Amino acid sequence: MNSLPKPIKTPTKQRFLSLRWRLLAGFTLVFSAVFAGAYYWFYAFSTEKAMTRLIEDLKHTAEGTAAGLDVSELLELYEEGDRNAAGYSDDLRYQNQMDWFETVHYIEPRVYPYTFLIGEQEDNRRVGEAEVEPGDLEVIYLVDSLWLFNQDKALSFLESGRPSSYSLTTFEEGTGQFRDLYTDPWGSWISYYLPLEDSSGDVVAVLGADIEADHVLEVQKAIRDRIWVAFGITYGTLLLLVYLLSDVLTRRLNHLTLAAGKIGEGDYDQNLTAFSESAWQDEISKLSKVFELMVSKVRKREETLKQQVAELKIEIDQVKRDKQVREIVETDFFQDLMGKARDMRGRISSREETLQDPPPA
């Protein structure tokens, strides 16, 4: 059975890519990966540190605020105070609470404290509709420091709301609770809740302390802006250095390639000492020495081959002449001439002998 002919392979078209661009691409990819990892770590680390500092400041401010609150006055305000048309209260007890919040905010401008209590929906005192169903726990907001700074976001006195899991835990367990970044109808915040106890030690209300998330976002943006500036300077410097380094490297390789091309064409008088005898030896210096040794051996081999070819040519010419002579000698014409020449030499010899013999007496 005849085997099938092997398919003819189409030669693959080869594309040239300079070593300089390969180095640039390689270093760019490696540096991008390393920088991305370093940036992510630094961004996460810096953000975490900033958040930790903010949380600590928020906690300390909230604890100081809670220590200065008159809880008994706050409960009296809840039980007897009235809301005005603007949404807060003109009650002197409300103003006393607000004055303390203003002092706290003056000390730490980033923090906005407020107070509220939590109770059964049917037992609470409120203004307006309840936000929860009967039997559910309900938040009743009391004093909010935002009335001093941003009334559009401020909570109205005796306003109803739903408790978050953080504020509910604080109220039920009597422990401080942090709430990570979140968004509500009043904006984005980070909050800390502290229980407020009456004279008997029972938790009767909760102090909330908020810090606007815009400040956190500003911290993150500042980190990003500085990172990108550092990235641009470092990245540009690295690429420039790689480009210059690759230029030095490829320039020597290009000269060596040009010399190799001339050697391939038979021009062995190439000076490679500039590569092989440099002050700092490297792989190109070693390659140049190998080239010098190769050129020397190739030159000697070529000279030997030329001499052998010349000698072989002489031998071939001699063989050709001998062959031509044999061909001539073996022809009938040459044999006939040789026979005639022998006959002629014989007649000449006989005649000479006759002339040399004396005549008879």
In-domain check, residue 129: yes
Q: What per-residue confidence (pLDDT) applies to 347?
A: 74
In-domain check, residue 317: no
145 has which bridge partners? none
In-domain check, residue 105: yes
Would the pLDDT of 28 be above 60? yes
Print the domain residue range for 106.
50-219
Q: What per-residue confidence (pLDDT) applies to 99?
A: 96
Band (pLDDT 50/70/90 cuts) for residue 353 is: low
Hey, what long-range contacts does 14-19 have (CB within 8 A, 24 or more apart)?
18/250, 19/246, 19/249, 19/250, 19/253
Residues 181-219: tens digit of each pLDDT: 877 776 778 899 999 999 899 999 999 999 877 766 777
Q: What per-residue confidence (pLDDT) applies to 143?
A: 96
In-domain check, residue 17: no
In-domain check, residue 189: yes
Whose tokens are 């001539």? That residue is 328
Spell out the residues 6+ positions from residue 319 whose beta carbon is closer than 8 angstroms to its own.
none
Residue 58 belongs to domain with CATH number: 3.30.450.20
The total domain count for the chain is: 1
Q: What per-residue confidence (pLDDT) applies to 114?
A: 96
Spell out the residues 6+ positions from residue 164 whose beta carbon is closer than 8 angstroms to its own.
179
What is the spatial distance between Cα 43 and Cα 226, in angstroms, rounded to a whole number? 11
Band (pLDDT 50/70/90 cuts) for residue 225 is: confident
In-domain check, residue 152: yes
In-domain check, residue 242: no
In-domain check, residue 67: yes
Would the pLDDT of 176 be above 60? yes
Q: What per-residue confidence (pLDDT) applies to 115?
A: 97
Residues 125-140: tens digit of each pLDDT: 999 999 999 989 999 9
Which of 215, 168, 199, 220 lies closest to 40 in space, CA to CA?
220
